[in-house]
Amino acid sequence: MRLLSEDSLSRCGIAHRTHILLGLSGGADSVALLLLLHESLQRGWIGGLSAAHFNHCLRGADADADEAFCRDLCRSLGLPFFAGRGDVRAFAAANRMGEEQAARTLRYRFLRERMAACGADCIATAHHADDQAETLLLHLLRGSGMAGLCGMQPRTGEIVRPLLHITRAQLLSYLEERGQPFCTDASNADTAHLRNRVRHLLLPALSEYNPQIVRSLCSTAQLLSEDEAYLGALADGALQSARRDGGYERLRLLAEPGPVRRRALLLLLRESLDGDVRRSDVARVEALLPAQAGTCIELRRGKKAWLDGALLRLGEKPESVAFSCGLTPGMACSVAGWRVLAERVAAYRRPESPMQACLSLDGLGGDAAALSLRSRRAGDRFRPLGCGGSRLLSDVFTDRKTPQRLREAPLLVCGEEILFVPGYTVAERVRVRPESKSIIYIVVEEDLGIERQGVHGHACRQGADR
């Protein structure tokens, strides 16, 4: 019986010169894979084969017997063998995780260390079609999306799974034909574990409705994998198209279909959160996209997502930068991500937006040289146009629900007096009257291509107001 072909190895990225390190437990699946890979080595389909066994020290003498069995089997085949062991219970307790997760963490850590030490190109595991069917059902029970229902892939990084198209029954028949013994782990029959309940109870029950249930579920996983790969490529393309100035154009992302948009955000979050992403993280960032500029949400691992004008940004949000610089009418300047232009005008000009203002300098002696731009400070007070007294600027922002980004816009001041709060209004003192002679028109807009880099055209003292 020939179960493993050169084509099935090629689907895992295994070629003639590939050196494989096999994770050998001693159970039927890994023993069958060892023999199949040994045959592949003899046929010249692979370049090298080694085996590694990790003793979890959970089953006493039985675990030691499994290790000895694996060593003897590799010796009989003339294959390099590596053994390792670890205290799974102590590791689980120290890292506050379940024993199953702790065992997997220690096992794969050992296998990766051995792979590097022996110069292998990949690590082979004996996951087969039944394991694939179980994985799909487990993810379905947990409410997984399409990516989870794709199950395991023939290759994930350095991990290869050449047996995903082969059933456990086929592997057992192969071993029986060869008269090859194997080890049996009694814990695999313990239905206290969810996977074992799926294996021994759910799959047999489903087979009463469909005798080929394992094949059917594996076929479903394969079809979904192809769809997921296609949607993933669209999402990556959408993300690259939206990339600008260290952020992502949120309107471009919002214009994408939901399945593509959510996958694009998932890619972003995986990079920002080192792969530790939950469905709720994607939903929260998706809900952020249409919010007001300046809106910021907390993520995990000390990271944030925020709207910097037209851009979505993820990472560690920089603190507001204190700045102070002069302003000369007729000369534009950029500061802290904002572009400011002031010009002299002959008469009152109606502002086109709250980010623009027309004001009189007559009360300042008509001297534009006294004007400057600065960041807001604690305790700033402002007397708005038409108001009889001054107010704390922080209270104004709170009452108006001013977005955080807009609160960082540069204030136009003369000395300590605030003359214009972008997004709001000018001070009563600089109201333009019919008799006003020295009038300027000022425009403040976001300059997203310049992020807190200081002023161009004027000297800027960033940090001077700290």
Give the Cβ contact number of residue 77 at 10 Å.
16
| CA–CA separation, 390 and 75 (whole Å) | 89
pTM tops 0.75, yes or no? no
Nearest to 328 by CA among 369, 358, 364: 369
Q: What number of residues does the chain have?
A: 466
Amino acid identity, residue 266? L
Per-residue pLDDT for the chain (466 aa), expressed as one digit of tens each?
Answer: 579 999 999 999 999 999 999 999 999 999 999 999 999 999 999 999 999 999 998 888 889 999 999 999 999 999 999 999 999 999 999 998 988 899 999 999 999 999 999 999 999 999 999 999 999 999 999 999 999 999 999 999 999 999 999 999 999 999 999 999 999 988 888 888 899 999 999 999 999 999 999 999 999 999 999 999 999 999 999 999 999 888 999 999 999 999 999 999 999 999 888 877 889 999 999 999 998 877 888 888 778 899 887 899 998 876 667 888 888 888 888 887 788 999 999 999 999 999 999 999 998 877 778 899 999 998 999 999 988 889 999 888 888 878 777 888 999 999 889 999 999 999 999 999 999 999 999 999 987 443 433 334 444 444 444 3
Burial of 294 (0-12, 13-18, 19+ CB in 10 A): middle
Q: What is the pLDDT of residue 399?
A: 84
Q: What is the pLDDT of residue 363?
A: 85
Q: What is the pLDDT of residue 213?
A: 97
Pairing of strands 296-298, 247-249: unpaired
314 sits in which H/E element: strand 311-315
Q: What is the pLDDT of residue 1?
A: 59
Lay out the sheet containing 247-249: strands in order across.
Answer: 243-244, 247-249, 311-315, 304-308, 296-298
